[in-house]
A = this chain, B = another copy of it.
Amino acid sequence: MSKIINDAETVVIESLRGLQHAHASILQVNESPLFVRTAGKRPGGHVGVISGGGSGHEPLHAGFVGLGMLAAAVPGPVFTSPGPNQITAAARSVDSGAGVLFLVKNYTGDIMNFEAAAEDLAAEGIRSATVVIRDDVAIADTEATAGRRGVAGVVFVEKMAGAAAARGNSLDLVAAVAQAAADRVRTIGVALAAGSLFHSPEPTFDLTEGELEVGIGIHGEPGRWRGPLVPSRELVETMLDAVLAEIDDNKQVLVLVNGMGSTSLAELHIVFNDAYEILEHRGFEVRDALVGDFVTSVDMAGFSISILGVTPELEDFWRDPVDTPALSRHRR
């Protein structure tokens, strides 16, 4: 689909400038090296929770910088990992002595560059810990692959780790909260139509109108199977089967129905209504939910469902207030 931009080469920086102008009280953009951090002075002694990765998934990650969530986000080019120099600069900027926690979606380039940054920071005396998010159940988690991809479940991890950090907890505890959240969240996605990137209106993969592909990744990676369009209830049932098979025996859950970009909010709420009713029917208790566009694939049509088997401790972090451009809620 055609895009409203000025130049495909400057999409990321112009978009971030717009984000900053719209939320100057919350965040500021450092252009060279490129990272986004909370505005104003950081509270002393708080762990800096940092995430990053390729752009094209907006509002992820920069849209989650702010009170109670990320201290900084490190955006790479579209669908491309950020460089270690960006990550180290972000960490130096937000570290207040308590160290930084890296939340990294499981992609080879991201893992490599966050590791390189962690080594450089260690040499400077800045402590870091890293939690890797691998929530996508679409592909099997075997040693033959790079392992499962990190997708929309990262939103839960960022929120809970951010809340733990905002309470002034130690790096070890904040990392443990993030790890617990990452261990407990699983996701599966579906595409109805490919999106396109900014340099060309051509779709990033082929999918016939009236077909869907279950298990697709947020960069259009191939899924488990293709088939004809089915009613929402039937599709959601299938997707929940895949996700719930990978969740611990925990009947209290948080749910994220995440739009990939072009799917209407009305549809996302229909999907969530189906998920809610199916889960309750199967004896789960939906403790809270997010429905909307959080981890997109530019303008792909489709959605993902993430389920997090929640403990009372994680739920308490989840309910803490948060004030970021893309997720702002009072205490719930």
One of A87-95, A151-159, A256-264 contacting the partner: A256-264
Q: Would you call the interface of chain A mostly helix, strand, loop, or mixed?
A: mixed
Bound: A3/B302 CA distance, A: 9
One of A19-27, A101-109, A118-126 contacting the partner: A19-27
Measured CB to CB, the closest approach of chain B to A257, in angstroms, equals 8
Which of A7, A266, A332 is the most central at the interface, judged by chain B CB atoms within 10 Å of its CB? A266
Question: Which residue of the partner chain, among B63, B190, B276, contacts A18 with CB atoms under 8 Å?
Answer: B276
Bound: A269/B272 CA distance, A: 27
* A5 interfacial by beta-carbon distance below 8 Å: yes
Measured CB to CB, the closest approach of chain B to A189, in angstroms, equals 12
Could you mark each residue 303-332 of chain A with 1 if its beta carbon is under 8 Å from any beta carbon of chain B, else 0? 100000000000000000101000011101
* A271 interfacial by beta-carbon distance below 8 Å: yes
Question: Which residue of the partner chain, among B18, B25, B195, contacts A271 with CB atoms under 8 Å?
Answer: B18
What chain B residues lie within 8 Å of A266 (beta carbons)? 11-12, 15, 55-56, 58, 198, 298
Question: Which residue of the partner chain, among B6, B19, B56, B290, contacts A22 with CB atoms under 8 Å?
Answer: B290
* A2 interfacial by beta-carbon distance below 8 Å: yes
Known contacts being A2-B229, A21-B273, A276-B18, is A262 close to B262, with CB within 8 Å? yes
Measured CB to CB, the closest approach of chain B to A328, in angstroms, equals 5
Report yes or no: B3 in contact with A267, Cβ–Cβ below 8 A.
yes
Measured CB to CB, the closest approach of chain B to A65, in angstroms, equals 14
Report the nearest B residue to A271, measured CB to CB: B4
Q: Interface residues of A toward B: which range? A: 35 or more
One of A142-150, A231-239, A244-252 contacting the partner: A231-239
What chain B residues lie within 8 Å of A265 (beta carbons)? 15, 58-59, 63, 293, 296
Q: 5 closest pairs, A vs B, by CB?
A: A18-B269, A18-B273, A58-B265, A262-B262, A15-B269
Chain A contact residues, CB within 8 Å of chain B: 1-7, 11-12, 14-19, 21-22, 25, 55-56, 58-59, 63, 190, 192-193, 195, 198, 201, 209-210, 212, 229, 231-233, 235, 261-274, 276, 286, 289-291, 293, 296, 298-299, 301, 303, 321, 323, 328-330, 332
Q: Could you pull out 14 A-B pairs where Cβ atoms are within 8 angstroms? A: A1-B193, A2-B192, A3-B267, A4-B263, A5-B267, A5-B270, A18-B291, A19-B291, A58-B266, A59-B265, A201-B209, A262-B262, A262-B299, A321-B330
